[in-house]
Chain A
Amino acid sequence: MKVLVAVKRVVDYNVKVRVKSDGTGVDIANVKMSMNPFDEIAVEEAVRLKEKGVVTEVIAVSCGVSQCQETLRTAMAIGADRAILVESADELQPLAVAKLLAALVAKEQPGLVILGKQAIDDDANQVGQMLAALTDLPQATFASKVEIAEGKATVTREIDGGLETLALSLPAVVTTDLRLNEPRYVTLPNIMKAKKKPLEIVTPAALGVDVAPRLKTVKVSEPAGRKAGIKVPDVATLVDKLKNEAKVI
């Protein structure tokens, strides 16, 4: 069985982004970029399934600018066998990415598609679900445990009140939550090996997908700041402030 894993190049999670003064977006020039943390978990899970012998091939896919090749090389250093970049300089919104992935699913016929639950830049949490809809596959989002056996995926999901377990017929789409696994560190020899693995580049047009944005960003602004707080010397003062100044208890 083949597994397709979608990875996104995003601003590194430790970077505090700044809104551009003209309100057109956030300033990502010269900012450290990395693989979206949830996607690392997705690649790790696919590679673990391969190590268990459940999966024969892991294909990493990314959609976006040419620098996404670095993200794909990282996925291959973790253990993906080959990579596909859908190269586009245009803004790709979740629906467009889902359509591009759906075209690749039709071409590659994977038994399982694993994605992160959300990208930490647009915080959309949509692509996995949209891909499942477009390909008419069952979905299990926010997975914290995945087991593949007898043509079925049994997935434990993180939901608001706790956990729930679903059984899906394969092929299926799974999106990862934080606690699915702990991604491994990539080693230097594996980074070197990853440079030799095949990386195919296609365009949205070649896949027959219209990637025109559906949402127009009118402006991007700073969130309202909080007014500076104070430090209190002891618990008694804190209780007094909460009771008499903030009046919240």
Chain B
Amino acid sequence: MTALVIAEHDNASIKGATFNTVTAAKACGGDVHVLVAGHNAGAAAAAAAQIAGVAKVIHADGAQLANGLAENVAAQVLAIAGNYSHILFPATASGKNVAPRVAAKLDVGQISDITKVDAADTFERPIYAGNAIATVQSTDATKVITVRTTGFDAAAATGGSAAVETVAAAADSGKSSFVGSELAKSDRPELTAAKIIVSGGRALGSSEKFNEVMTPLADKLGAAIGASRAAVDAGYAANDLQVGQTGKIVAPQLYIACGISGAIQHLAGMKDSKVIVAINKDPEAPIFSVADYGLEADLFTAVPELVAAL
């Protein structure tokens, strides 16, 4: 019984979500191998070999794997899938994109967003926006899984010494191609990996106010900035900052929700945070029902005061 983890990387280094996925893979029992599929990704493969607990790294390199197209990455995984009992992806935009494609080709059900491994074939996962936890048992020979990274600790990035085995890259499907990307530039910690997150909602009123109020607080705390769907839809914040059922799922040490009412869909993305602080002027806002510390105040006065007091 061996588990295969599909690494998320930018060809030079391994992205954080991969480390949590390795921990989930270890919990399935057996050895853990990591697949690094990319273009000129030797550095990423070498980094994967350092992860504690990884027995082998499989490195596939080809121009067709450069941008993580689902068709080509899935073909690469399928080329080696026969050797594995478990195939795990981080439940990130790219993992969710590829994993079901692999499962369908293997004719197995896929298990999404697991938060716990109960046994090699039994997993826990949240359903209905996190309002219920389902324990599911897979009857398939191969378990194809995406891993909610906030459900598992990160494996140590060093201490391992896995061998790197190079395999031939799968052929280009020819059906899709990468045109370009537009990545939001940020010097802040990555939202899903941040220890502290300050998050703003519709009450901020405009994108200028959002930046004016939230940025000093984030700077002071070394925090990442998040947003509710209302704030994103209104154009106050970029959509990759959205926290919730359909955005990012986060579980930082401290989550400060400013001017966020706390709809079910938003709570689904942050209610596993260790400490939740809510600043809202509506005493009835549902966010207060999950907040450890609630401050009933106008955020335009309370947040600057908070910045000054820190």
Binding site for B on A (CB under 8 A): 11, 13-14, 16-17, 19, 26, 38, 93-95, 98, 117-118, 120-134, 137-142, 144, 154, 157-169, 172, 177-179, 213-223, 226, 229-232, 234-236, 238-239, 241-242, 246, 248-249
Contact = CB atoms under 8 A, between A and B. Distances in A.
Nearest to A178: B246
A166 B177 contact: yes
Given A129-B104, A229-B294, 9 more contacts: A26-B131, A129-B100, A138-B71, A160-B240, A160-B248, A169-B176, A217-B135, A218-B137, A234-B295
Contacts of A216: 136-139
Nearest to B97: A141
A220 B127 contact: yes
Interface residues of B, number: 88
A215 B254 CA distance: 35
Nearest to A11: B128
A225 to B, nearest CB: 9
Contacts of A226: 271, 276, 290, 292
Contact of A19 (B132, B265, B302): B132
Given A166-B177, A223-B126, A98 B104 contact: yes
Contacts of A141: 70, 96-97
A143 B102 CA distance: 20
Contact of B277 (A178, A179, A242): A242
Contacts, number: 254
B103 interface: yes
Contacts of A123: 112-113, 126-129, 245
Interface stretch (B47-55, B154-162, B180-188): B180-188
B173 A138 contact: yes
B139 A215 contact: yes
Contacts of B309: 235-236, 239
A96 to B, nearest CB: 9
10 contacts: A11-B128, A26-B127, A26-B132, A133-B104, A139-B71, A172-B175, A214-B138, A215-B139, A217-B134, A226-B276
B108 interface: yes
A206 B182 CA distance: 46
B228 interface: no
Nearest to A129: B100
Nearest to A153: B176
Interface string B268-310: 0001001111000000000010111111110000100110011
Contact of A166 (B140, B179, B232): B179
Nearest to B184: A162
Contact of B139 (A117, A166, A214): A214
Contacts of A241: 293
B74 interface: yes
A68 B98 CA distance: 29
A163 B93 CA distance: 11
Interface in B98-116: 98-105, 107-113
Contact of A125 (B96, B264, B265, B276): B96
A226 B289 CA distance: 9
Given A17-B132, A19-B132, A139-B71, A215 B246 contact: no
Contacts of A94: 100, 109-110
Contacts of A242: 254, 275, 277, 293
B6 to A, nearest CB: 14
A236 B161 CA distance: 50
B105 A133 contact: yes
Nearest to A154: B179
A127 B109 CA distance: 11
Given A220-B133, A223-B130, A235-B302, A163 B74 contact: no
A214 B109 contact: yes
Contacts of B135: 217-221
B101 A133 contact: yes
B94 A159 contact: yes
Contacts of A11: 128
B251 to A, nearest CB: 12
Given A221-B135, A238-B293, A248 B183 contact: no
Contacts of A128: 100
Given A130-B103, A169-B175, A235-B306, A17 B128 contact: yes
Nearest to A23: B135
